[in-house]
């Protein structure tokens, strides 16, 4: 029997548009599963008009439109809320939805620090709701095949991983704005970590936590991290995650730069070309004799975000409260690893640690200080956030 999942979209920005278009693709055009996604509501903190325009642009023609997130999460027809706001707001927005009794899919980075992640997980569990970080790459057939190869021992023991995500996006405000919890690590570093955690950590039955060290170069103007290198060590395996928001990992966007992720085992290594968030092929290179083999994993239909949406639908249909492919622990532990680096270097994440914002909407977009937060003209949060370099 076909299962229909009713979505509410919280925040009508760029990725929400891509995701919603993927949700509303004709299911028969690209996959064969018995779930249907409906977008029944869109919510914008800017205006109801923006929510309406967003619904028109994305083809969510039956959706109701709301001019606030508070109204959106109260919509009784919504089964699951997709949180697609800047990092600074994930905690408050996801908490708003959970407290309204809604299941939640929250964009990466899940939260600005591990403490916030733990609180969301506790709340979802206490309320018996589904919660997941939107690490869409984990559901790609490429990722599934890679995890299978590692589990089956085809690569031998994994000894080293090199994982890089560099993208020239410093013109985008939410990337560099400390008040929106910008910075390379929270934005791009999630994918550098993804390839490490979905293999070494995810496939380890003991879920051993890594030791972490990090080197960070701050953006002089804003104080957020611009170039970050994290070294993660497990017994028998080391990994290096690098990220930056000013230099491309693959400058020509044609894979000419070679792999951005290398997973090195005792029998073979796997090389994945950029972009690490949407990879479509990998090469398996055996140690010693044996043929080098290129494997293609084309994305047919949309942008490939529907795989994670389907996973949400399967879980909710089957009464699961978290995904086995993206367990909640795998949002909390990498969050803790990011905290280690940021604390040592005094960049944004640690600054956010002290002040968990309770507002659902910040008027701050590009200006450099936070004063008062209002939602429905009611002041919800007035704690100033310490500014970088203070
Ligand atoms: N999975 C992926 O491949 C992927 C790709 C890009 C981004 N992301 C993630 O998705 C999230 C959103 O990124 P985006 O590129 O979609 O951002 P964006 O285009 O800037 O949109 C963010 C939306 O959040 C809402 N918002 C609420 N408070 C805001 C504030 N103070 N300043 C700015 N926007 C505010 C706005 O929607 P309303 O005005 O409608 O409320 C805005 O349109 C981030 O966490 C990012 O890391 C994921």
Domain boundaries, the chain: 3-136+304-325, 141-296
Predicted confidence band of residue 55 (pLDDT cuts 50, 70, 90): very high
**Burial class, 386, CB count within 10 angstroms (exposed 0-12 / middle 13-18 / buried 19+):** middle
Query: What average pLDDT is seen over the chain?
Result: 89
Residue whose Cα lies nearest atom 8 of ligand 1: it is 15
Predicted confidence band of residue 348 (pLDDT cuts 50, 70, 90): confident
Task: Tell me, in angstroms, the distance from the centre of ligand 1 to residue 49's CA.
Answer: 17
Tokens describing residue 33: 């599963």
Which numbered atom of ligand 1 lies nearest the CA of 179? 31
Task: Tell me, in angstroms, the distance from the centre of ligand 1 to residue 272's CA.
Answer: 27
Does the beta carbon of 277 sit less than 6 angstroms from any atom of ligand 1?
yes
Q: Assign a CATH topology to domain 3-136+304-325.
A: Rossmann fold (3.40.50)
What would the pLDDT profile of 209-223 be if each residue is shown by its tens digit?
999 999 999 999 998
Ligand 1 pocket test: which of 65, 87, 107, 360 has the largest number of ligand atoms within 8 Å of its C-beta? Answer: 107
Taking the C-alpha atoms of residue 138 and residue 269, their distance in angstroms, rounded to an integer, is 19
Read off the pLDDT of each residue in 260-276 and give the average, rounded to a whole number: 98
What would the pLDDT profile of 187-243 be if each residue is shown by its tens digit?
999 999 999 999 999 999 999 999 999 999 999 999 899 999 999 999 999 999 999
DSSP letters spanning 27-72: GGGT---SEEEEEEEEE-SS-HHHHHHHHHHHT-TT-EEESSHHHH
What would the pLDDT profile of 80-89 be if each residue is shown by its tens digit?
999 999 999 9
Task: Tell me, in angstroms, the distance from the centre of ligand 1 to residue 1's CA.
Answer: 35
Task: Tell me, in angstroms, the distance from the centre of ligand 1 to residue 174's CA.
Answer: 8
The yes-or-no verdict on residue 377 having pLDDT over 80 is no
Contact by Cβ (8 Å): 91, 114: no
Does the beta carbon of 5 sit less than 6 angstroms from any atom of ligand 1?
no
Does the beta carbon of 102 sit less than 6 angstroms from any atom of ligand 1?
no
The yes-or-no verdict on residue 353 having pLDDT over 70 is no
Strands 3-10 and 35-43, by their bridges, are parallel
Task: Tell me, in angstroms, the distance from the centre of ligand 1 to residue 380's CA.
Answer: 21
Number of H helices, E strands in the chain: 12, 16
Taking the C-alpha atoms of residue 276 and residue 241, their distance in angstroms, rounded to an integer, is 12
Length of the chain: 390
Does the beta carbon of 187 sit less than 6 angstroms from any atom of ligand 1?
yes
Q: Assign a CATH topology to domain 141-296.
A: Dihydrodipicolinate Reductase; domain 2 (3.30.360)
Taking the C-alpha atoms of residue 147 and residue 138, their distance in angstroms, rounded to an integer, is 10
What would the pLDDT profile of 118-171 be if each residue is shown by its tens digit?
999 999 999 999 999 999 999 999 999 999 999 999 999 999 999 999 999 999
Residue whose Cα lies nearest atom 21 of ligand 1: it is 13
Phi, psi (rounded to 5 degrees) for 3: -105, 130
Tokens describing residue 16: 């929400």
Percent of the chain with pLDDT strictly greater than 90:
80
The yes-or-no verdict on residue 368 having pLDDT over 50 is no
The yes-or-no verdict on residue 351 having pLDDT over 80 is no
Ligand 1 pocket test: which of 8, 9, 10, 11 has the largest number of ligand atoms within 8 Å of its C-beta? Answer: 11
Percent of the chain with pLDDT strictly greater than 70:
89
């Amino acid at each position: 029997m076909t299962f229909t999942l009713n979505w509410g979209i919280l925040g009508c920005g760029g990725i929400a548009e891509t995701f919603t278009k993927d949700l509303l693709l004709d299911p028969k055009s690209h996959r064969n599963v018995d779930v249907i996604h409906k977008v029944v509501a869109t919510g914008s903190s800017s205006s109801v008009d923006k929510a309406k325009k967003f619904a028109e642009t994305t083809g969510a023609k039956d959706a109701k439109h709301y001019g606030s997130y508070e109204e959106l999460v109260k919509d009784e027809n919504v089964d699951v809320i997709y949180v697609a706001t800047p990092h600074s707001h994930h905690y408050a927005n996801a908490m708003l939805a959970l407290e309204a009794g809604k299941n939640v899919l929250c964009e990466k980075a899940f939260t600005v620090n591990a403490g916030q992640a733990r609180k969301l997980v506790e709340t979802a569990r206490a309320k018996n709701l589904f919660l997941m970080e939107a690490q869409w790459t984990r559901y790609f057939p490429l990722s599934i095949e890679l995890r299978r190869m590692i589990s089956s021992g085809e690569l031998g023991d994994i000894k080293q991983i090199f994982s890089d995500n560099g993208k020239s996006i410093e013109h985008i405000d939410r990337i560099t704005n400390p008040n929106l919890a910008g910075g390379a690590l929270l934005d791009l570093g999630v994918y550098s970590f993804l390839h490490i955690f979905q293999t070494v950590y995810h496939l380890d039955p003991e879920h051993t936590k890594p030791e972490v060290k990090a080197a960070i170069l701050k953006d002089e103007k804003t104080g957020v991290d611009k170039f970050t290198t994290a070294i993660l060590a497990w017994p028998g395996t080391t990994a290096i995650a690098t990220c930056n928001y000013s230099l491309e990992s693959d400058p020509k966007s044609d894979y000419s730069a070679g792999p951005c992720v290398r997973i090195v085992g005792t029998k073979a290594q796997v090389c994945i070309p950029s972009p690490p968030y949407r990879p479509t092929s990998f090469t398996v290179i055996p140690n010693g004799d044996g043929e080098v083999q290129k494997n293609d994993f084309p994305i047919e239909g949309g942008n490939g975000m529907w795989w994670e949406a389907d996973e949400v639908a399967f879980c909710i249909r089957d009464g699961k409260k978290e995904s086995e492919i993206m367990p909640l622990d795998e949002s909390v532990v990498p969050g803790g690893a990011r905290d280690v680096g940021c604390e040592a270097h005094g960049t944004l994440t640690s600054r956010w640690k002290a002040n968990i914002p309770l507002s659902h909407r910040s008027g701050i977009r590009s200006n450099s200080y936070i004063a008062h937060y209002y939602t429905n003209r009611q002041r919800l949060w007035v704690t100033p956030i310490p500014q970088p370099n203070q």
